[in-house]
Amino acid sequence: MRVTRLSWVLAIAAAAGASVIRTSELSLPYNGFKVFRVKTHARPSAVLEKLSNINFEQWNNDANSHVDIVLAPDQLLAFAELGLEFDIMHEDLGVSIAAESVRSPLWKRQAGDPSWFDSYHDYQDHIQYLQSLHDLFLNNSELISSGFSYENRSLQGIHLWGAGGPGKPAVLYHGTVHAREWISTATTEYLTYKLVTEYNAGDEDTRFVLDKYDFYIIPIVNPDGFVYTQTTQRLWRKNRQPGPNGSDCYGRDINRNWEFAWDANPLGASTNPCSQTYKGERPSDTPENQGLDKLVRQLRDGAGIKLYIDWHSYGQYILSPFGYKETLYAPELGKWTKAAQMASDAIRDSSNDLTTYTFGPSGATLYTTTGAAPDHVYSIGRAEFSYTIELRDIGKYGFVLPPELIRPTVGEQWPGQKALWSLLDEEFFDGEGPA
């Protein structure tokens, strides 16, 4: 299918800017573009064959029930003539991006102010926000870096601990692996905010978990791509590393670049530098991945990794290994699935939204991925629990989630994570306790 031309047109049309969210520059290239959810009715090949004669950008990889596509104005008539069944996700993507990029005037530069989660923010404000969270928790935190990006930005994070000091088993969170998934940045920051403020307030559950585990939280592991989505092309996914052998296409998919099972399945990633899932020339050939993997191995060789979560959007999934082979199931799959189910129940029951998360092994539940973080951090990092969590929504907005949905999305993850943390040392299926 001809999906690369549209991305190329957008890249040329977008203008470079400073490190702030420039609403007009981000939205202008997408003015008049529409996003459709095309129904496939379990016959994706037939639908994709019809779509192959038009230019589009595909948002989702699992096309069994639907395919989400972005269309330029000059493709709309040809699309209508295909006679496909669809819903409209964005009537005008440019308008949606402009609305998404407006920042709340209420936020004060204080980490304890929850209005931070009323809008999206530029990269430098995120760096300052981590500093502010550290300032709120000076005796129980440190700012860390998990290496540097291709453009030499630090992979900035924060390390939290409770009574007795650092050195306990690790909970490791990565956010914004894919640059356009802004809600994952907000989610990892919200969980950090809640851990700090609830611990300071004496919340019993929070004190229990932080006294037992060290948390390592890196909200933006793809800073170059993230900045690019804020200055140039809102829907950019990969890092900003130049392509090989003089290729005009930029970027590698950091979540197809991990060493474990990097080349295990040809369906799991792309060898085309222009593809959204380009895996690189060799395992861990992105500087971002090298730094992230170094920390994984350090934690493994220290007190160990209790829980790893790679935060993404969209689709509302909780996915465990393995991603690289649909029929391969880890020995821990039973406890992973039970824990995911209990986290999903806690999320659903936390509000009247009744948000539902689907859970299961990644390859069998969603689609094949090679060189993916949860497989690597489980197999090489020896994490006891390892997940990808795909956040809201299930297709009304996709990657361009309105600011008014930030708080509901991040807020429901707090009870979900509390449920998950409570199970990390549970003896599963023994007839006692919650699992």
Return the pLDDT at 14.
40
72 near 235, Cβ under 8 Å? no
Instruction: Write out pLDDT tens, residues 319-364.
Output: 999 999 999 999 999 999 999 999 999 999 999 999 999 999 999 9
β-bridge mates for residue 311, sequence order: 389
What is the token pair recorded at 307?
């829980």
> Looking at residue 119, what DSSP letter applies?
S
Tokens 């809201």: give the residue.
392
**Backbone torsion region of residue 398, taken as left when φ is above 0, otherwise alpha when ψ lies between -120 and 50, otherwise beta:** left
Active-site residue among 332, 390, 426, 427? 390
Cis peptide before 193 (omega within 30 of 0): no
60-104 pLDDT, tens digit per residue, is 988 889 999 999 999 999 999 999 999 999 999 999 999 888 776
In 295-426, DSSP assigns E strands to 305-313, 317-320, 358-361, 385-391
Q: Element (H or E) spanning 13, and its range?
A: helix 4-13
Instruction: Say yes or no to pLDDT of 1 above 50.
Output: no
Which pTM was predicted? 0.92
pLDDT of residue 61: 83
195-206, pLDDT tens digit by residue?
Answer: 999 999 999 999
* Eight-state DSSP code of residue 155: E
H/E stretch holding 66 reads strand 66-71
Q: Quick count: other Cβ atoms within 10 Å of Cβ 80?
A: 10
Mean pLDDT value across residues 386-391: 98
* Structure confidence by residue, pLDDT tens digits, 101-147: 877 655 555 667 899 999 999 999 999 999 999 999 999 999 999 99
Amino acid letter, 336: W
What pLDDT is attached to residue 16? 34
In the chain, pLDDT over 90 holds for what percent of residues? 85
**pLDDT, position 5:** 42
Q: Over pLDDT 70: what percentage of the chain?
A: 91
State the pLDDT at residue 386.
98
390 is catalytic: yes
Distance of CA 305 to the CA centre of its chain: 20
Note the pLDDT tens digit of each residue in 33-67.
999 999 999 899 999 999 999 999 999 988 889 99
The 3-state DSSP class for residue 109 equals coil
Average pLDDT over residues 379-400: 96
pLDDT at 337: 98
Nearest to 186 by CA among 137, 236, 115: 115
Whole-angstrom CA distances from 134 to 139, 143, 210 are: 9, 7, 15
Contact 97, 28 (CB under 8 A): no
Q: What is the C-alpha to C-alpha distance for residues 18 and 416, in angstroms, rounded to an integer?
A: 37
Q: What pLDDT does 12 receive?
A: 34
DSSP state of 147: E
Task: Find out whether the peptide bond into 322 is cis, omega within 30 degrees of 0.
Answer: yes
Model confidence pLDDT, tens digit, residues 167-196: 999 999 999 999 999 999 999 999 999 999
Quote the mean pLDDT of the chain: 92
Residue 321 φ then ψ, to 5°: -60, 155
State how far the Cα of 203 lies from the Cα of 408, in Å rounded to an integer. Answer: 21
Determine the average pLDDT of the residues in 416-432: 92
* Rounded CA separation 362/312 (Å): 13
